[in-house]
Structure 1
Amino acid sequence: MTTNRFHTRALAALCALVVLLTAAACGNAPTTDADGLRKVTFMLSWAPDTNHIGVYVAKHNGYYRDAGLDVDIVAVAQSGAEQAVNNGVADFALSNLTNVSTYATKGAHLTQVMQVQQKTSAIWCTLASNDAINRPKDLDGKTFATFGSSESDAVVRRMIETDGGKGDFDKVTVGTSTFATLASGRADFGGFYATWEGVQAKMNGPALRCFTEPDYGVPGNADSIGIITSDRLIDDDPDLVKRFVQATQRGYIDAYDDGDEAASILVHDAPEANLDEAFVRESMKTIIDGQYWGDRERIDDGTATFGAIDYDGTQQYFDFLADSDAYTDATGEVVHTAPRSRDLATDEFLKRG
């Protein structure tokens, strides 16, 4: 699953020095295509999936063209989408506000301009065949399949402690697949997402036994997935940011209204991902039924805006991470003061009502 803390938090630490050394790099000068459309680059955060689906729908339905934009959707850079946006290699990317906060402590200048996901979708699971783990406190002394993130360590520890355990566990680094790591017996549990791997497990196996963060003491919204850009682009061309954000907002709203149609668009327009349409449809059904992108009734009656920033929920999670010593600066020193979500995000570019 893309934009996830299981992958990108570890990458943030590895790239910290590079962020500082290249933060002042100049982006490409504005260019237009043969039709006079402003060329814009949007970078994926991982492989194409339902987190990205609104961008594909917006492009397919001509919303970017209507806004005077020619949007190129590009694969994630080896250094990560956040660093690419910070350095001007990409104009926009999919990320989440926690990633933005982590990079901010290392000297990056990023802003989230639309928050698509409004509640946590992370699930912490063992194979259902593992009878030794039936609740989070049973994870004590077990082996965690991790991508090396201190954030994930803090979350798992809090869940175990809240359930009455000590919060002690071993770790093994995942190569490519957490499923494979668990099946091999190298680890006992790992992190997944209900809207992607959770769907995969239900449709194709293996069966999982899972625990969710809000039920076991982890506060706020850890999975504030949305669109990011650089502070530089906001300062230099706020009209471009507004046009891109509002066209993208339309794409995600379409996907939230008709998940099956959106799934067909993603599968057709991202052939390199080799996605199964039935699987993508089920992922969208999970998102829609679970209202992961916001309260549909409130969005429909205009009392809520699709894509608005959840400042309070994200700040609660940032404070938890700071209390858990999960933030570090570019030198690796622990940062004890949590970044402020209101300094790292804005929903001023969204269309209201």
Structure 2
Amino acid sequence: MKTVKGFSKIVAMVGAVALGLTLSACGNTNSASNTDSKNSGSTPTVSFMLDWTPNTNHIGLYVAQKLGYYKDADVNVKILPTAQAGAETSVENGVANVGFTTLSNVAAFNSQGADLKFVFDLTQKPVARWCALASRTDIKTPKDLSGKTFVSFGSAEQTAVVRQMIKYAGGTGDIKTATAGTNTFETLTSGKGDFGGFYVTWEGVESELNGPKLNCFVASDWGVPGNPDQLGFAVKGSWLKDSANADALKKFIAATKKGYDYALANPDKAADILVEQAKEAQLDSKLTRTSMEEIAKNNYWTTDDPKSLPGTTNFDDAQPYLEFQYKAGTYKDQDGNDPASAPQAKDLATNEYVG
């Protein structure tokens, strides 16, 4: 069973902050300096780095590229595979103009001196799930996770969420950890761990289609405040100071949003475009279609209009979660100490570039 390691990859990024803001020699070598947005004559170019293997989280980019939305907006777009250093470090170091990340990751990186700005929020509802195999009848609520082994990449953010859920449910919050392998499903079925993190829109769909069945919990149902899952796009703050770059970003976001809206209105057609355009990922067509149908049906990306995503950061959802993680000690400065105050969503994110 081919698995895209979505959730485990993204939530591991905060742990990667401790490695520092340096480029890996194995990273992508394409440069994305300010001149990128001024080349090709009068048409600017924006380079976008994925956070992991192409999947439905990225579908708007592939649809916009295939259907000519970028051409119509007069912007060239280069989609880059994720570098070993990660999208955040790559954007900070000029390897890419825009990267797929989370607002909390931006908070973590900026606490260590990075200059990232969250400019587009894809998800409007929590999509992360904390799951044990359904066959584990001894695990009925998060309380039952006390003393169990958590399959993770050692992320402080993950650990804080899980411990809060357990305590809220009446447990001790004490857990053991095991490093996730290439497939969290396999780690659980092998007995090396008791529960792990998944995305309902991808691995949750895969579980329903192919098994094994999961028993999952949503963090916001168990005492974790705000929306932990604000996934979207970030750029380097200083890059935006150039008006040409700011204009290019507005064009890019408008065309990409149009791609996501098309996917919401035409989930199967958009899924087929993703599979075709991202051949290197060898995506399963049924999984991709069902994932997009799940997203459209349950309005994970939308608020008022189910066929159009806002793309804006909900600051009322963002700040409580940042405060929670700050109190848990997740964010550290360059010396490994707690910052003087909690990260502020209004400083980390802006809705200025979403039309």
> How many angstroms does 1:316 deviate by?
0.9
Query: Secondary structure of 1:29's match?
Result: helix
Match of 2:14 among 9, 14, 21: 9
Match of 1:32 among 35, 39, 59: 39
Match of 1:252 among 260, 264, 271: 260
Task: Verify the 8 A CA contact 1:325 1:336 in the aligned structure 2.
Answer: no
Match of 2:137 among 131, 134, 142: 131
Task: Verify the 8 A CA contact 1:2 1:51 in the aligned structure 2.
Answer: no
Q: Please give the alpha-carbon distance, in whole angstroms, between the structure 1 residues aligned to 2:199 and 2:261.
A: 21
Q: Please give the alpha-carbon distance, in whole angstroms, between the structure 2 residues aligned to 1:313 and 1:117.
A: 12
Equivalent in the alignment of 2:160: 154
Query: Secondary structure of 1:52's match?
Result: helix
Query: Secondary structure of 2:201's match?
Result: coil
Amino acid at match of 1:329: D
> Does 1:335 find its partner at 2:332?
no
The answer for unaligned runs of 5 or more in structure 1 is 20-24
Equivalent in the alignment of 1:324: 328
Amino acid at match of 1:229: V
Q: Please give the alpha-carbon distance, in whole angstroms, between the structure 2 residues aligned to 1:169 and 1:196.
A: 26
> How many angstroms does 1:350 deviate by?
1.4
- The alpha-carbon distance between structure 1 residues 296 and 259, as it changes in their structure 2 partners (threshold 3 A), is farther
Equivalent in the alignment of 2:3: none
- The one-character-per-residue Cα deviations of 1:7-37 (angstroms, maximum 9, x if unpaired) are 2111122234669xxxxx992523533x753
Task: Verify the 8 A CA contact 1:126 1:208 in the aligned structure 2.
Answer: yes
Equivalent in the alignment of 2:208: 202
- The one-character-per-residue Cα deviations of 1:254-287 (angstroms, maximum 9, x if unpaired) are 1122111110110000000000111111111111
Task: Verify the 8 A CA contact 1:17 1:330 in the aligned structure 2.
Answer: no
Q: Please give the alpha-carbon distance, in whole angstroms, between the structure 1 residues aligned to 2:340 and 2:226.
A: 18
Write the mapping of 1:160-309 to structure 2, written as runs, cut at 5 A. Answer: 160-236=166-242, 237-297=245-305, 306-309=310-313
Q: Aligned residue pairs: how many? A: 341
Q: Please give the alpha-carbon distance, in whole angstroms, between the structure 2 residues aligned to 1:229 and 1:6.
A: 19
Identity %: 43
Query: Secondary structure of 1:192's match?
Result: strand
> How many angstroms does 1:330 deviate by?
2.0
> How many angstroms does 1:130 deviate by?
1.3
Q: Please give the alpha-carbon distance, in whole angstroms, between the structure 1 residues aligned to 2:320 and 2:307.
A: 24
Amino acid at match of 1:245: I
Query: Secondary structure of 2:310's match?
Result: coil
> Does 1:99 find its partner at 2:105?
yes
Amino acid at match of 1:278: K
- The one-character-per-residue Cα deviations of 1:160-202 (angstroms, maximum 9, x if unpaired) are 0000011011111112211111111111111111011100100
Q: Please give the alpha-carbon distance, in whole angstroms, between the structure 2 residues aligned to 1:203 and 1:98.
A: 31
> How many angstroms does 1:336 deviate by?
5.6
Equivalent in the alignment of 1:49: 55
Amino acid at match of 1:56: Y
Q: Please give the alpha-carbon distance, in whole angstroms, between the structure 2 residues aligned to 1:18 and 1:335.
A: 24
The answer for unaligned runs of 5 or more in structure 2 is 1-5, 25-30
Task: Verify the 8 A CA contact 1:118 1:293 in the aligned structure 2.
Answer: yes
Amino acid at match of 1:9: V
Amino acid at match of 2:119: V
Amino acid at match of 1:95: T
> How many angstroms does 1:337 deviate by?
2.1
TM-score for the superposition, normalised by structure 2 = 0.91
